[in-house]
């Protein structure tokens, strides 16, 4: 029996080499994309976490200020160290500093050599502990080997560390042998860092190692309850969750795209197996009569699918691994998403996910074969033995509109649902339903189009062909479904990306009001630079300063950016792209303007009063409005410099927006360049920033274009294969036509016409579904996953051009099917039918 | 932590510090004779001096007989970062070391270190020094004064109350204790023998009520160890009759005595002092460490004038290795004293396991 199964599979492969191979490739592609995305992300996340751990260690808890400009008071550190449940408290002060004239801001980590070994062993200085401790306590600075190489420094060198107006002339005492190869780090004693760069009365963070046997979760809970409101307590789990949250939505989006590729692969298997079943109806019927049970026959068909799915999935795994390696080398670990900058990790495959993707590939092929297998089981053996496959399931119910209507209503309803755990799962379900709706609508539309076509004054053979399809639209549906799915997805992606790009383009106009920008790369600008800009010889009429900080509102989410700007609190709309009306703040209360992401993530709204952990305490602020931000996916809050200073904040700008005096716009940039270079700052004009932003945007959607192309190819293959199958199924009819005097040319033309019309139906439905899905992506997925809102704009020219191109390709695909028609052994068929 | 070797490290710290930053000035006060000690203020820290320690050793008889315990806090002023404008400046550093000797068991020990104001602290008005949850503090009570002692580690912990039964014992001349023939080598040294000890001992997570006798030492100075001395033998013994004996000698590389001193206080308060001429140390039995290969004279014959005494260790292997401020290996443990008088206390021997590595 196994021999028979193997023989049948082998025969099937030999006979349907091309289509089997294509199905196999489609499955491979789906698996490869999904697996590659998984591998890249898994590796990038692991790499990012490891990098974080090498610097942060693996403490049982971290106490940190919610406001990044804040600190953990020494009294609390003392209280923590005296807790018998605590083994060690390792305090840390971390700042970004400049080294001499180098433009690169470097992380300077101030640690305490007495406590650091228990928590952050990777950051300890080289040399024997006693000597190294003495050197670091005496103000010695240690650098990672990567930094030494990058700045061409050597132990013993004198260096000037500076940040804003503070300077520290230090001596490079040695290396950090435990740092990771790419890490650019400086390590010094915490007191020396504090004396030069602050914070004045505390430490940046307290990393805690608990005594053995202490229940860390309970200890953290107890501490959290009595912690002042400006501080938070984090665990390693929170850090992992935060890192994973960074790219989660982007990752899920890419995985859904990979699933689509797999789905199209399943369609191809479906088309292939349906054809195979049709072609071998008599063969199977014979086997049935000879004693092969219908169950065995069904298993045979599924086995054949598995014979495609398994090697396809295996090939996909290999391909996915190669793809992941290639991608991480060229785009980095974040697939162009910009989440983990600078990481180019090595891909490490683990068995369990690989097995999962293997199973997924096999499942897709089995799902594709399930319907043909079932259909075959329904065949009447005697009938099939005599006359081959009979399509009797094209019942009239398939042509009703109730199913697509119900699906459409359901899809609409799902699109209205809120996200589940920050992921737009209902939105994805809505997209899936829209696709199914398109496919189920195909028979109805096919029947309409072909019936109408049959009424036209066409040549007889063409009218008969059209009439036939109109009467039995099942296979037409199969043929069109691949195109519907692939075209709908392509149109939806194109629509979403183009809407997004247009919105970003408009938004850039609003957020870049000044002609020139200077950026201090996250370190404050020294007064000397600002003074030079105010000198009479300065070509600038005015400039506006911006300071960047961050607030941890939720330990499991990435920080919310806090942007302190020189902005008029009564007229913020002059500087921020508000999405709605701006509320007038009460005169005595500080006002903030929140980004859309902040609004949605933290459920805030304009006009609301909210307590924010600012400047070491909780401050009630008024939300003056919500503005659009396509950059900070995890939220941003803008506060005016005047309010910030009134609250006691120390304003230290890192970025400037500059307006040259009239007539000096051409020379201003050249005047600024040497000044900026002296302080390691970056100067860019609005146009450059716009270009850069858009090119980053385009890069981040590069992967989706590849997926669109793959989907379209699969859809076209599906069309060709099913049309060919159609020819085999209607062999008898075609043979009869041949006997009635239609020549091969006419038969071929009939098949091509059919193909083109089926493609047209597919494209029409695909276009409609695509726009609907594009709307779901734009109005549901993007806002829910990334908190990016925009208006829909369908790129008609490219959509129609794509449709025309696909139609042309479909014509070519139909010719392939038509060639099958000309090869039919007409006489043989007619003889069999007797 | 060995008190004597710790001194050695501290001595070298400022030398290195000077090499790195010539502007650093640290004028350590000298230890001078005739300085009157005032209590409780002088139980507190003297941060201007280079080094200081508070040292409690003792023997417990419950939960088991002859359990030795030791807890020491060291304060060091390494002479660095003194002008740094930061509350965290590492100008005062604290080390603590705790050990527990259980007869028939291995020696358990644990250490802590931190700078003052960042996980550690001390009082300058009374004895109150801590690193994290480890603490040694004096408390005045209506019934008299007590010391509280507290430490925790992975496999042992104790919280003890020490209650004086006698007045403190000022070593040397009213607390001025010479450590060599050169005039500058000296410390201020206060001992408090025969402290009634009660409290809790936690062994592998199980709590036991504990009681016994302890010995408290408090010593501060700027320069003690000098000349040819490479090591030190020291005993502090609570005698069975209520008396107390403190004896030490400094050894040179050949093992001969460079300087020696002893004080024997009888139960009635009468103090006898002994110097090089009337005091001798003679090894009677050695124990070799399988780890460091050092040979320790665990049984020492001590002659005080006409009195002959001998130390008998309750556990041969009471060798310790500590890592901070510098790796050190030495022997420190509970011994019985037999001979002219009987008692129990601590013997410390340093400089046997190779040279100090700095």
Find the CB nearest A191 among B20, B81, B121: B81
- Examine the pLDDT at B45 and tell me if it is beyond 90: yes
Contact (CB<8Å) B132/A81: yes
Find the CB nearest B358 among A130, A138, A194: A130
Residues of B in contact with A63 (CB under 8 A): none
**Rounded (10°) angle between helices A731-739 and A744-776:** 140
| Beta-strand pair A166-175/A202-203 | unpaired
Residues of A in contact with B17 (CB under 8 A): 134, 138
- Work out the end-to-end distance of chain B between its first and last CA atoms, rounded to an integer number of angstroms: 15
Supply the DSSP symbol for B183: T
Q: Which chain B residues touch A if contact means CB-CB below 8 Å?
A: 9, 13, 16-17, 20-21, 78, 80-81, 84-90, 93, 113-115, 117-121, 130-133, 152, 154, 205, 323-327, 357-358
List the single residue in A with minimal CA-CA distance to B327.
Answer: A130
Contact predicate B301/B315, CB 8 Å: no
Per-residue pLDDT, A333: 52
- Residues of chain B with pLDDT > 70: what percent? 89
Across A695-701, average pLDDT: 79
Fold of B3-22+39-350: AttH-like fold (2.40.370)
Per-residue pLDDT, B309: 96
- Which residues lie below 8 Å from residue A432, measured CB to CB, with a gap of 6+? none
Contact (CB<8Å) A191/B130: no
List the single residue in A with minimal CA-CA distance to B81.
Answer: A138
- Which residues lie below 8 Å from residue A387, measured CB to CB, with a gap of 6+? A282, A732, A832, A833
Distance CA A333, CA A326 (A): 11
C-alpha distances in angstroms, B37 versus B123, B169, B214?
Answer: 16, 12, 22
List the single residue in A with minimal CA-CA distance to B151.
Answer: A84
> Distance from B15 to chain A by nearest Cα, in Å?
11
Q: What band does B4 get if pLDDT is binned at 50, 70 and 90?
A: very low
> Distance from A655 to chain B by nearest Cα, in Å?
29
C-alpha distances in angstroms, A751 versus A464, A724, A732, A821?
Answer: 11, 9, 14, 8
- Work out the end-to-end distance of chain A between its first and last CA atoms, rounded to an integer number of angstroms: 32
- Examine the pLDDT at A82 and tell me if it is beyond 90: yes
Per-residue pLDDT, A345: 64
Residues of B in contact with A134 (CB under 8 A): 13, 16-17, 78, 80
**Greater pLDDT, A165 or A182:** A165
Please list the residues that pair with B159 across neighbouring strands.
B150, B200
Distance CA A687, CA B172 (A): 83
Q: What band does A708 get if pLDDT is binned at 50, 70 and 90?
A: confident
Across B98-106, average pLDDT: 89
Cα dihedral A27, A30, A32, A35 in deg (nearest 10):
-120
- Examine the pLDDT at A703 and tell me if it is beyond 80: no
- What number of other Cβ atoms are within 10 A of residue A389's Cβ? 25
Per-residue pLDDT, B22: 38
Q: Which of A631-645, B16-30, B215-229 has the lowest mean pLDDT?
A: B16-30
Q: What band does B340 get if pLDDT is binned at 50, 70 and 90?
A: very high
Find the CB nearest B81 among A77, A78, A137: A137
Within a 13 Å sphere around the CA of A550, how many CA atoms are in the beta-carbon half?
13
Find the CB nearest B20 among A83, A138, A194: A138
Per-residue pLDDT, A288: 75
| Beta-strand pair B107-116/B119-122 | parallel
Residues of A in contact with B90 (CB under 8 A): 137, 189, 191
Distance CA A166, CA A168 (A): 7
Q: Which helix (H) or strand (E) holds A428?
A: helix A425-455
Supply B143's token pair. Answer: 């019934």
- Residues of chain A with pLDDT > 90: what percent? 33
Q: What is the pTM of this model?
A: 0.81
Q: How would you label A275-306 residue by residue, b for 16+ Cβ within 10 Å and e otherwise?
A: bbbbbbbeebbebbeeebeeeebbebbbbbbb
- Examine the pLDDT at B354 and tell me if it is beyond 70: no
**A-interface mutation test, from B17, B81, B90, most A Cβ less than 10 A away:** B90
> Distance from B155 to chain A by nearest Cα, in Å?
9
List the single residue in A with minimal CA-CA distance to B118.
Answer: A78
Find the CB nearest A82 among B16, B21, B132: B132
Tell me: the pLDDT tens digits for B196-227? 999 999 998 899 999 999 999 999 998 766 67
Per-residue pLDDT, B5: 44
Supply A806's token pair. Answer: 């696909």
Per-residue pLDDT, B1: 39
Contact (CB<8Å) B78/A195: no
- Examine the pLDDT at A386 and tell me if it is beyond 80: no
**Greater pLDDT, A808 or A738:** A808
Highest mean pLDDT among A110-114, A372-376, A386-390, B17-21: A110-114
Per-residue pLDDT, A456: 80
Contact (CB<8Å) A81/B114: yes
Across B121-144, average pLDDT: 93
List the single residue in A with minimal CA-CA distance to B96.
Answer: A114
Find the CB nearest B90 among A83, A89, A137: A137
Tell me: the pLDDT tens digits for B323-336? 766 678 889 999 99
Cis geometry, peptide bond prior to residue A199 (ω within 30 degrees of 0): yes
Per-residue pLDDT, B357: 35
Mean pLDDT of chain A: 84
Contact (CB<8Å) A130/B20: no
Contact (CB<8Å) B86/A191: yes
Q: What band does A240 get if pLDDT is binned at 50, 70 and 90?
A: confident
Distance CA A715, CA A25 (A): 13
- Examine the pLDDT at A281 and tell me if it is beyond 80: no
> What are the sequence ranges of the domains in chain B?
3-22+39-350
Per-residue pLDDT, A714: 74
Contact predicate A726/A821, CB 8 Å: no
- Which residues lie below 8 Å from residue A692, measured CB to CB, with a gap of 6+? A684
Contact (CB<8Å) A137/B113: no
Across B297-306, average pLDDT: 94
Contact predicate A436/A267, CB 8 Å: no
**B-interface mutation test, from A79, A115, A142, A191, most B Cβ less than 10 A away:** A191
**Rounded (10°) angle between helices A294-331 and A2-15:** 60
Size of interface A-B (CB pairs under 8 A): 109
Mean pLDDT of chain B: 87
Judge residue A666's burial from the number of C-beta atoms within 10 Å of its C-beta, 0-12 exposed, 13-18 middle, 19 or more buried. Answer: exposed
Contact (CB<8Å) A190/B118: yes
Residues of A in contact with B114 (CB under 8 A): 81, 112, 114-115
> Distance from A214 to chain B by nearest Cα, in Å?
11
Residue identified by tokens 């995305």 is A37
List the single residue in B with minimal CA-CA distance to A85.
Answer: B133
Highest mean pLDDT among A273-282, A804-813, B147-156: B147-156
- Examine the pLDDT at B14 and tell me if it is beyond 50: no
- Examine the pLDDT at A334 and tell me if it is beyond 70: no
Distance CA A380, CA A294 (A): 11
Residues of B in contact with A131 (CB under 8 A): 16, 358
Find the CB nearest B118 among A91, A133, A201: A91
- Examine the pLDDT at A532 and tell me if it is beyond 70: yes
Tell me: the pLDDT tens digits for A592-610? 999 999 998 899 999 999 9
Q: Which chain A residues touch B if contact means CB-CB below 8 Å?
A: 74, 77-78, 81-84, 86, 88-89, 91, 112, 114-115, 128-131, 133-135, 137-140, 171, 189-192, 194-195, 201, 203, 211-213
Tell me: the pLDDT tens digits for A542-569? 999 999 999 999 888 889 999 999 999 8
So what's the ipTM on this one?
A: 0.89
Contact (CB<8Å) B88/A194: yes
- Examine the pLDDT at B337 and tell me if it is beyond 90: yes
Q: Which of A372-376, A598-602, B315-319 has the lowest mean pLDDT?
A: A372-376
Supply the DSSP symbol for B102: -
Per-residue pLDDT, B356: 43
Q: What band does A459 get if pLDDT is binned at 50, 70 and 90?
A: confident
Q: Which of A353-357, A483-487, A731-735, B160-164 has the lowest mean pLDDT?
A: A731-735
List the single residue in B with minimal CA-CA distance to A129.
Answer: B326
Across A100-120, average pLDDT: 90
Tell me: the pLDDT tens digits for A473-529? 666 777 777 788 888 888 988 898 899 889 989 888 888 889 999 988 878 999 999
**Greater pLDDT, A566 or B228:** A566
Q: What band does A832 get if pLDDT is binned at 50, 70 and 90?
A: low
Contact (CB<8Å) A130/B327: yes
Q: What band does A76 get if pLDDT is binned at 50, 70 and 90?
A: very high
Distance CA B88, CA B110 (A): 25
Find the CB nearest B84 among A133, A192, A203: A192
Q: Which of A400-409, A710-719, B264-273 has the lowest mean pLDDT?
A: A710-719
**Greater pLDDT, A2 or B94:** B94
Find the CB nearest A139 among B21, B121, B327: B21
- Examine the pLDDT at A396 and tell me if it is beyond 50: no
**Greater pLDDT, B183 or B19:** B183
């Amino acid at each position: 029996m196994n021999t028979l199964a193997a023989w049948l599979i082998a025969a099937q492969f030999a006979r349907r080499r091309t289509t089997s191979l294509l199905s196999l490739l489609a499955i491979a592609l789906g698996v490869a994309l999904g697996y590659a995305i998984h591998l890249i992300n898994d590796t990038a996340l692991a790499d990012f976490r490891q990098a974080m751990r090498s610097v942060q260690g693996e403490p049982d808890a971290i106490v940190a200020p919610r406001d990044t400009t804040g600190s953990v008071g020494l009294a609390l550190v003392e209280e923590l160290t005296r807790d018998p449940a605590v083994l060690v408290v390792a305090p840390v002060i971390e700042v970004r500093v400049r080294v001499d004239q180098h433009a690169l801001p470097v992380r300077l980590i101030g640690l305490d050599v007495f406590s650091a070994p228990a928590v952050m062993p990777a950051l300890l200085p080289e040399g024997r502990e006693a000597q190294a401790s003495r050197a670091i306590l005496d103000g010695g600075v240690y650098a990672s080997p990567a930094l030494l190489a990058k700045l061409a420094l050597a132990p013993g060198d004198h260096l000037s560390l500076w940040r804003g107006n503070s300077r520290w002339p230090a001596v490079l005492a040695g290396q950090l042998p435990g740092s990771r190869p790419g890490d650019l780090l400086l390590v010094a004693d915490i007191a020396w860092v504090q004396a030069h760069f602050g914070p004045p009365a505390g430490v940046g963070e307290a990393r805690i190692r608990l005594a053995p046997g202490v229940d860390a979760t309970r200890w953290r809970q107890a501490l959290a309850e009595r912690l002042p409101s400006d501080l938070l307590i984090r665990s390693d789990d929170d850090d992992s969750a935060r890192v994973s949250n960074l790219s989660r939505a982007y990752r899920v989006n890419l995985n859904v795209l990979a699933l689509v590729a797999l789905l199209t692969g399943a369609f191809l298997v479906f088309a292939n197996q349906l054809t195979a079943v049709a072609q071998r109806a008599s063969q199977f019927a014979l086997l049935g009569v000879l004693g092969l049970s219908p169950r065995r026959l069904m298993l045979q068909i599924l086995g054949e699918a598995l014979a495609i799915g398994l090697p396809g999935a295996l090939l996909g795994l290999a391909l996915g691994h190669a793809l992941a390696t290639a991608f991480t080398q060229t785009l980095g670990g974040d697939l162009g998403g910009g989440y983990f900058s600078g990481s180019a990790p090595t891909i490490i495959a683990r068995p369990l996910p690989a097995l999962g993707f293997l199973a997924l590939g096999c499942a897709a092929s089995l799902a594709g074969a399930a319907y043909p297998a079932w259909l075959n089981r329904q065949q009447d053996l005697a009938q099939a033995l005599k006359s081959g496959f009979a399509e009797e399931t094209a019942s009239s119910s398939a042509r009703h509109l109730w199913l697509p209507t119900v699906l459409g209503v359901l899809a609409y309803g799902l699109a209205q649902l809120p996200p589940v755990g920050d992921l737009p799962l209902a939105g994805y379900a809505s997209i899936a339903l829209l696709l199914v709706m398109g496919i189920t609508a195909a028979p109805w539309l096919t029947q309409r189009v072909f019936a109408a076509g049959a009424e036209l004054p066409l040549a007889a053979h063409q009218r008969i062909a059209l009439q036939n399809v109109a009467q039995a639209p099942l296979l037409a549906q199969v043929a069109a479904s691949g195109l519907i799915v692939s075209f709908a997805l392509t149109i939806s992606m194109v629509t979403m990306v183009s809407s997004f790009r247009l919105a970003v383009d408009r938004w850039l106009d609003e957020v870049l009001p000044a002609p020139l920008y200077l950026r201090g790369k996250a370190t404050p600008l020294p007064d000397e630079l600002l003074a030079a800009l105010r000198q009479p010889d300065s070509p600038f009429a005015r400039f506006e300063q911006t300071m960047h900080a961050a607030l941890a509102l939720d330990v499991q989410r990435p920080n919310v950016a806090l942007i302190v700007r020189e902005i008029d609190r009564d007229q913020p709309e002059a500087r921020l792209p508000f999405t709605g009306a701006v509320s007038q703040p009460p005169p005595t209360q500080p006002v903030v303007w929140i980004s859309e992401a902040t609004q949605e993530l933290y459920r805030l709204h304009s006009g609301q009063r909210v307590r924010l952990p600012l400047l070491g305490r909780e401050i009630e602020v008024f939300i003056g409005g919500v503005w659009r931000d396509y950059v900070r996916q995890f939220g941003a809050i803008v506060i005016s410099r005047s309010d910030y200073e009134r609250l006691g904040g120390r304003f230290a700008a890192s970025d400037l927006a500059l307006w040259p005096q009239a007539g000096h716009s051409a020379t201003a940039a050249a005047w600024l360049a040497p000044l900026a270079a002296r302080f390691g700052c970056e100067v860019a004009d609005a146009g450059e920033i716009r270009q850069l932003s858009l090119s980053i945007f385009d890069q981040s959607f590069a992967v989706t274009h590849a997926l669109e192309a793959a989907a379209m190819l699969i859809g076209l293959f599906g069309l060709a294969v099913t049309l060919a199958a159609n020819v085999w199924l209607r062999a008898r009819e075609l043979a009869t036509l041949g006997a009635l005097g239609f020549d091969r040319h006419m038969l071929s033309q009939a098949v091509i016409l059919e193909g083109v019309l089926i493609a047209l139906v597919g494209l029409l439905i695909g276009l409609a579904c695509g726009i609907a899905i594009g709307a779901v992506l734009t109005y549901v997925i993007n806002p829910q996953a990334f908190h990016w809102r925009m208006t829909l704009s369908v790129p008609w020219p490219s959509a129609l051009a794509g449709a025309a191109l696909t139609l042309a390709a479909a014509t070519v695909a139909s010719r392939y099917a038509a060639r099958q028609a000309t090869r039919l052994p007409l006489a043989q068929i007619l003889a069999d039918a007797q | 932590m060995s008190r004597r070797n710790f001194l050695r490290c501290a001595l070298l710290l400022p030398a290195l510090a000077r090499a790195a930053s010539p502007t650093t000035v640290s004028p350590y006060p000298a230890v001078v004779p005739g300085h009157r000690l005032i209590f409780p203020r002088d139980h507190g820290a003297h941060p201007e001096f280079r080094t200081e320690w508070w040292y409690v050793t003792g023997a417990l008889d419950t939960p088991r007989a002859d359990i030795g315990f030791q807890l020491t806090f060291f304060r060091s002023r390494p002479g660095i970062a003194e002008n740094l404008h930061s509350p965290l400046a590492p100008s005062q550093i604290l080390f603590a070391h705790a050990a527990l000797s259980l007869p028939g068991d291995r020696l358990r020990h644990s250490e802590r270190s931190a700078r003052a104001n960042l996980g550690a602290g001390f009082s300058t008005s009374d004895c109150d020094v801590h690193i994290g949850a480890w603490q040694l503090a004096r408390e005045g009570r209506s019934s008299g004064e007590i010391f509280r002692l507290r430490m925790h580690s992975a496999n042992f912990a104790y919280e003890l109350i020490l209650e004086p039964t006698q007045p403190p014992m000022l070593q040397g001349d009213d607390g001025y204790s010479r450590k060599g023939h050169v005039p500058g080598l000296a410390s201020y040294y206060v001992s408090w023998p025969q402290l009634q000890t009660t409290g809790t001992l936690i062994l592998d997570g199980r709590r036991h009520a504990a009681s016994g006798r302890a010995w408290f030492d408090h010593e501060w100075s700027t320069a003690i160890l000098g000349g040819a001395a490479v090591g030190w033998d020291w005993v502090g013994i609570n005698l069975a009759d209520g008396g107390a004996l403190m004896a030490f000698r400094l050894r040179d590389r050949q093992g001969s005595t460079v300087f020696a001193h002893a004080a024997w206080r009888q139960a009635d308060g009468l103090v006898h002092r002994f110097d090089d001429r009337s005091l001798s140390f003679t090894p009677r039995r050695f124990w070799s460490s399988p780890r460091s290969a050092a040979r320790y004279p665990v049984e020492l014959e001590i002659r005080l004038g006409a009195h002959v005494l001998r130390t008998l260790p309750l556990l041969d292997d009471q060798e310790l290795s500590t890592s901070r401020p510098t790796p050190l290996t030495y022997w420190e443990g509970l011994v019985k004293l037999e001979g002219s008088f009987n008692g129990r206390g601590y013997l410390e021997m340093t400089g046997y396991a190779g040279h100090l590595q700095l």
